[in-house]
């Protein structure tokens, strides 16, 4: 009796194996005819037999399933099938289909990635770009830069909830955005190219096709991610969450100047200039040779009508960067801000000619003091604003030798 049961079991196993083989062959033939629906149905019919399936059929099952799903444009599940294949064949130590499947998966990743880039760059369809970038990341989870691109795209699409979700995911996976580029100069074109890997670059240099090998490491995006999370909270009206996100990041790295500046920019957005000014002072202590920090402190003090303090900071910015055009322009504006008090007093002394003349001379002296800074700003970068400001001063000081030539320039700039 026992022998009969064993015989029946063996017979059943051969029937099951035959069925598996038949369905997989059906799927294979359907894929060759691009009949992916039939292929997928055939593959699904043997899913319940996976536990007892022979290794060669199980590998083929994953391989065919990946192709059928890819043909149906279900790229995410196709990638799962291919990755299951890779894991399984690695586990059993036999590589029957991995070699053929890997290029197929790479093609899927490339196809979706190209669609994402097109939607982002060419079509400006940020909603579609978000979808395709995130799908690329799901197809290739190691390529976390696609998750970052998805977060940025979602923000541009004003889908702040999705963007926030992706940025938080980036934080959880420890994304930094730091990438190493292995560069060399193409002898034929003379252009610097990224050759992908150190070994590839070194080989190309040895072959004489490239010269000047260099390595470039990109900056971390951790501070930018925290900043973007904060800005999303601001756009959602969640002020406290925005501040908490940036402060939490700064606690882990209090001397990171970028994190500090991001928090400072947040306070500008929230119109909390006192907080901004306090952080700028802290930033100056961390980076005392940065002219932009002193310039920003000048702006803060100017907005609070602390003119002498503003002038002091603008002077420091100019001292650190003698070609800082905005600092010269703001210096002139800070000096000229004292004019209002003089003009008010002039209006009160219209009948007191002596007092009025004294005040008018005081006004002109103010113009003479501001003039060199305006001229320098115009020299560094000429704009309608610099030219118009100079014309006003030249006219007031009756400097016709300078005002007349500049007036022609101003008219040309305005298309007159």
Q: Pick the closest to residue 177 from 223, 226, 221, 228 (CA basis).
A: 221
Query: What is the pLDDT, as a whole number, of residue 1?
Result: 43
Instruction: Name the strands in the sheet holding 210-217, side by side, starting at the edge strand that comes first in the sequence.
Output: 192-194, 180-186, 210-217
Look over the chain and give the mean of its residue pLDDT values, rounded to a whole number: 88
10 Å CB burial of residue 214 (0-12, 13-18, 19+) is: exposed
Contact criterion met (CB below 8 Å) for 132 and 119: yes
> Given pLDDT bands bounded at 50, 70 and 90, which one contains residue 7?
very low
H, E, C per residue of the chain: CHHHHHHHHHHHHHHHHHHHHHHHHHHHHHHHCCCHHHHHHHHHCCHHHHHHCCHHHHHHHHHHHHHHHHHCCCHHHHHHHHHHHHHHHHHHCCCCCHHHHHHHHHHHHHHHHHHHHHHHHHCCCHHHHHHHHHHHHHHCCCCCHHHHHHHHHHHHCCCHHHHHHHHHHHHHCCCCCCCEEEEEEECCCCCEEECCCHHHHHHHHHCCCEEEEEEEECCCCHHHHHHHHHHHHHHCCCHHHHHHHHHHHHHHCCCCHHHHHHHHHHHHHCCCHHHHHHHHHHHHHHCCCCHHHHHHHHHHHHHCCCHHHHHHHHHHHHHHCCCCHHHHHHHHHHHHCCHHHHHHHHHHCCCCHHHHHHHHHHHHHHHHHHHHHHHHHHHHCCCHHHHHHHHHHHHHCCCHHHHHHHHHHHHHHCCC
Q: Does the pLDDT of residue 376 top 90, yes or no?
A: yes
Q: Pick the closest to residue 213 from 187, 240, 189 (CA basis).
A: 187
Sign of CA dihedral 23, 26, 28, 34: negative
Contact criterion met (CB below 8 Å) for 364 and 356: no
**What is the spatial distance between Cα 76 and Cα 293, in angstroms, rounded to a whole number?**
47
Q: What is the pLDDT of residues 36-71, one digit of tens each?
A: 999 899 889 888 788 778 888 888 889 999 999 999
Q: Does the pLDDT of residue 235 top 90, yes or no?
A: no
Q: Does the pLDDT of residue 360 top 80, yes or no?
A: yes
pTM (two decimals): 0.62
Q: What is the pLDDT of residues 28-38, one digit of tens each?
A: 999 999 999 99
CA dihedral 368, 373, 377, 380 (to 10 degrees): 110
- Tokens found for residue 94: 């036999």
Query: What is the pLDDT, as a whole number, of residue 17?
Result: 62
Q: What is the pLDDT of residues 257-266, one digit of tens each?
A: 877 887 887 8
Q: Does the pLDDT of residue 9 top 50, yes or no?
A: no
Query: What is the pLDDT, as a whole number, of residue 322?
Result: 96
Query: Most confidently modeled of 2-6, 44-48, 327-331?
Result: 327-331
Report the percentage of the chain scoring pLDDT > 70: 95
Q: What is the pLDDT of residues 192-227, one digit of tens each?
A: 988 878 888 888 899 898 999 999 988 888 878 888
Q: What is the pLDDT of residues 269-319, one digit of tens each?
A: 788 888 888 888 988 899 999 999 999 889 988 988 889 999 999 999 999
Q: Pick the closest to residue 181 from 156, 163, 200, 165 (CA basis).
A: 200
Query: What is the pLDDT, as a whole number, of residue 121?
Result: 94
CB atoms within 10 A of CB 328: 26
Query: What backbone phi and psi angles, to 5 degrees, belong to 208?
Result: 85, 5
Query: What is the pLDDT, as a whole number, of residue 131?
Result: 94
Q: Does the pLDDT of residue 327 top 70, yes or no?
A: yes
**What is the spatial distance between Cα 131 and Cα 129, in angstroms, rounded to a whole number?**
5
* pLDDT, average across residues 108-123: 92
Of 176 and 162, the structure prediction assigns the larger pLDDT to 162
Distant-in-sequence, close-in-space partners of 320: CB < 8 Å, separation ≥ 6: 289, 290, 291, 294
> Given pLDDT bands bounded at 50, 70 and 90, which one contains residue 18?
low
Q: Does the pLDDT of residue 10 top 50, yes or no?
A: no
């Amino acid at each position: 009796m026992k022998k009969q049961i064993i015989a029946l079991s063996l017979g059943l196993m051969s029937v099951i194996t035959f069925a598996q083989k038949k369905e997989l062959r059906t799927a294979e033939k359907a894929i060759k005819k691009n009949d992916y629906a039939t292929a997928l149905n055939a593959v699904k019919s043997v899913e319940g037999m996976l536990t007892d399936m022979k290794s060669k059929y199980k590998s083929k099952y994953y391989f065919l399933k990946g192709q059928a799903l890819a043909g149906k444009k279900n790229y995410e599940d196709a990638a799962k099938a291919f990755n299951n294949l890779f894991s399984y064949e690695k586990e059993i130590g036999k590589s029957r289909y991995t070699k053929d499947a890997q290029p197929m998966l790479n093609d899927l990743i490339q196809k979706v990635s190209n669609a994402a880039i097109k939607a982002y760059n060419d079509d400006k369809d940020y909603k579609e770009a978000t979808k395709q970038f995130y799908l690329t990341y799901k197809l290739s989870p190691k390529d976390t830069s696609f998750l970052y691109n998805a977060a940025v795209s979602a923000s541009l699409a004003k889908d702040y909830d999705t963007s926030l979700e992706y940025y938080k995911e980036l934080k959880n996976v420890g994304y930094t955005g730091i990438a190493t580029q292995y560069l060399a100069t193409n002898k034929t074109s003379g252009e610097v190219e990224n050759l992908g890997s150190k070994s590839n670059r070194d080989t190309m240099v040895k072959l004489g096709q490239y010269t000047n090998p260099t390595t470039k490491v990109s900056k971390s995006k951790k501070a930018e991610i925290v900043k973007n999370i904060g800005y999303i909270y601001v756009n959602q009206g969640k002020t406290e969450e925005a501040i908490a996100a940036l402060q939490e990041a700064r606690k882990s790295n209090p001397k990171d100047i970028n994190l500090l500046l991001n928090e400072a920019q947040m306070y500008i957005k929230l119109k909390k200039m006192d907080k901004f000014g306090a952080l700028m002072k802290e930033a100056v202590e961390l980076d005392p040779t940065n002219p932009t920090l002193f310039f920003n402190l000048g702006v803060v003090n100017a907005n609070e009508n602390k003119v002498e303090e503003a002038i002091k900071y603008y002077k420091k910015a100019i001292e650190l960067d003698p070609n800082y055009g905005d600092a010269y322009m703001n210096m002139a504006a800070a000096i000229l801000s004292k004019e209002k008090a003089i003009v008010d007093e002039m209006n009160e002394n219209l009948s007191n000619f002596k007092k009025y003349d004294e005040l008018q001379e005081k006004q002109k002296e103010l113009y003479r003091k501001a003039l060199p800074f305006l001229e320098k700003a115009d020299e560094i970068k000429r704009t309608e604003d610099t030219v118009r400001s100079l014309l006003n001063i030249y006219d007031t000081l009756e400097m016709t030798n300078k005002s007349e030539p500049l007036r022609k320039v101003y008219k040309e700039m305005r298309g007159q």
